[in-house]
Chains A and B, each alone.
Chain A
Amino acid sequence: MSQFEPAVGQTRSLAERLDSLYEFDREPVRQEALLGWRKFAAMFAGEHIAATEFVIGALFVIHGVSARDLVLGLLIGDILAVLSYGLVCAPIATRTRLTLYWYFRKIGGPALSVLYNTANAILFCIVAGAMISVSATSVGMAFSVKIPTLNDLYPNSVGWVVVTLCVGMVVTIVAILGFEKISEFSQVCSPWLAAVFFAGALALLPTFGKVDTLKDLWESATTRIWTGVPTLGQSKYTLRHIVFFAWFCNLSLHVGLSDMALLRYAKKWTYGFWSATGMFVGHFLAWICSGVMVAAVGREMNPGRMAFTAAGFAGAMAVVIAGWTSSNPNLYRAGLAFQTITPNWKRWKVTLAAGLITSFLACFPLFFMHLLDFVALYGLILMPVGAIVFAEHWIFPQLNWTSSWAEKHKLFLNWPALLSWTVSLAVAFLLPVHLFIKGLPGYLIALIAYLGFSYLWGAAADAPPPKASLNAPLANGGD
């Protein structure tokens, strides 16, 4: 296997560099650093009001969701999401007090943590790009730029490219100059952004007809906003689409365990249920409000115009600010991940590179026009990591199997983890169900596959594998 040695060596040093970047949070959170429930209620509420909310709620209207399906679907989906935070993510986070990065490194080995980080970085760039596109719809309006339409996959005008690149560059430069300051400033924006959604939708309601009673309101909602009829060329969404989208739009965060980074600071595991503030303000109220706004502009998928119609200059600014403040941390995280493959680059150079990639992606409207699919795909790709960690944390001790496999045997790569990640994704993509739903069978497949592969690789045996190396499959036989 000598031909593989240089590659393995390179990956090993890559992993070491990645470790050094995350060095500051290597140790479990200390008791005195734990935070109270108010902090979590506020953090969740703030995190889930972003530029994407302007697009998601609007796309539900365009996909012909009926009012009943929307309300019921969001209620069920959001409750399931809160339960996923409270029952899956928070208990593991508060027991380990580690970030997913370090916990998964113990389980999957350095090679898999590099792979996870790289996948995350690419996905972060696309998310940040979609948010820059959303901001550009608002800026473009001021310069009468032709905004891409729903079916556009590529840039439709030079003006759009210029505006998007300019917005992207401003976001990048500001992120280089002071990422921390913007993160702090975004705390100021969250309550106001929630107010913009609420105010915009409420003020526009009378344009749909009488709203004197709840019956009138429901009548307007069912016949003028969520009519159940999709826009020409768009697929029809029903209750199951809404339930699964609301549940899985943060799949990588709750079931995928990324939010261990946040919840490891919680005094009690029950603080995971405070995610309800984010789910019901951001993923219920804001989505419903953006649905009202898009219906008021004749179902034109243009967040800038929607917000301007609903709240004037403040609305247009809200779209710019929401896009800016939510793309900023994504750009930073992407830069952090890219820094591992560019060891001699300074942080500003890496952030600039990530910003250039992001700005380029932002020019393509397909990312924000197909945001629902992309968000579902994002969660799906990272979700198997959550299943692997769940199996190691809860199921392995019950079966008396060896936990933290890679760390105990000093393995560079946990093959069962890599195989179950790949197999579960391959099977999930082949399943004849809608993309939004694939996460559920995908998770179960990843869980079962990991248990199966780990058994085959000798996790059930007490003794370590005879040769703890990269190429030691079935080291303990299939006992």
Chain B
Amino acid sequence: MRTTMIRVCQVLALLALAVCVSVPIVACVGKLSFSEYLRWFNLASLLWFLTAPLWIVPSLFGKEWEKAGRLAKLRRRP
């Protein structure tokens, strides 16, 4: 269960980062207003901080999560 959650978090975190990087490009070429860009960027940032810690540093949440982090296939072994 924990391993699956870490994998899901990884996918969501990467998605959030992709949004963080792509919305300013869309705003820069004039396809998105500045206020829309701000909304998307802030939401994606929130998603990043909700998901990335579990993927990148599962040890922050205890030994069980650290173990699950090692087992998660998408995560490289340290």
Chain A residues with a Cβ under 8 A of chain B: 38, 181, 184-185, 187-188, 191-192, 195-196, 198-203, 205-206, 211, 311-314, 317
Q: A202-B24, A203-B37 are in contact. List 19 more A-B contacts (CB 8 A).
A: A185-B53, A188-B49, A188-B52, A188-B53, A188-B57, A191-B17, A192-B49, A199-B21, A199-B24, A202-B25, A202-B27, A203-B24, A203-B38, A203-B41, A206-B28, A206-B30, A211-B28, A311-B41, A312-B41
Q: What is the CA–CA distance of A317 and B56 in the complex, to the nearest angstrom? A: 20
A192 touches B17 (CB 8 A): yes
Which of A185, A196, A205 is in CB contact (< 8 Å) with B57?
A185
- Cβ–Cβ < 8 Å partners of A198 in chain B: 21, 24
Query: Complex: how many Å from CA A203 to CA B44?
Result: 15
Q: Using CB atoms, name the residue of chain B closest to A318.
A: B45
Given the interface contacts A192-B45, A195-B17, A312-B42, does A184 sit within 8 Å of B24 by beta carbon?
no
Interface string of B1-31 (1 = CB under 8 A from A): 0000000000000000100110111011010
By CB atoms of chain A within 10 A, which of B27, B30, B45, B48 has the most?
B45
Cβ contact within 8 Å between B45 and A203: no
Known: A192-B52, A203-B28, A312-B41. A184 touches B60 (CB 8 A): yes
**Complex CA distance for A184 and B34, rounded to whole angstroms:** 33
Interface size on B, as a range, is: 20 to 34
User: Which listed residue, B41, B53, B56, B57, touches A199 by the CB 8 Å rule?
Assistant: B41
| Residue contacts A-B, CB under 8 angstroms, 21 given | A185-B53, A185-B60, A187-B56, A188-B56, A192-B20, A192-B49, A192-B52, A195-B20, A195-B21, A199-B23, A199-B24, A201-B24, A202-B25, A203-B24, A203-B38, A206-B28, A206-B30, A311-B38, A312-B38, A314-B41, A317-B45
> Which residues of chain B are near A195, meaning CB under 8 Å?
17, 20-21
Tell me the B residues contacting A by CB distance below 8 Å: 17, 20-21, 23-25, 27-28, 30, 34, 37-38, 41-42, 45, 48-49, 52-53, 56-57, 59-60, 76
Q: How far is the CA of A314 from the CA of B23 in the complex (A)?
A: 14
CB-CB < 8 A to A38: which residues of B?
76
Closest to A205 in B: B28
- Residue of A38, A195, A200 with highest tally of chain B CB at under 10 A: A195
Complex alpha-carbon distance, A314 and B38, angstroms: 9
Min distance, Cβ B29 to any Cβ of chain A, angstroms:
8
Q: Least Cβ distance of A349 to chain B in Å? A: 26
For B27, the chain A residues whose CB sits under 8 A away are 202-203, 206
Task: Enumerate chain B residues within 8 angstroms of A202, measured Cβ to Cβ.
Answer: 24-25, 27-28
A432 to B33, CA, bound (A): 51
List, in ascending order, chain A residues with CB within 8 A of B53's CB. Answer: 185, 188
Q: How far is the CB of A346 from chain B (nearest CB, A)?
A: 24
Q: For B30, list chain A residues within 8 Å (CB).
A: 206
Cα distance A317–B42 when bound, in Å?
A: 10
B23 to chain A, nearest CB (A): 7
Contact across chains for A184 and B21 when beta carbons are under 8 A apart? no
Most chain-A Cβ atoms within 10 A of its Cβ — which of B28, B30, B42, B59? B28
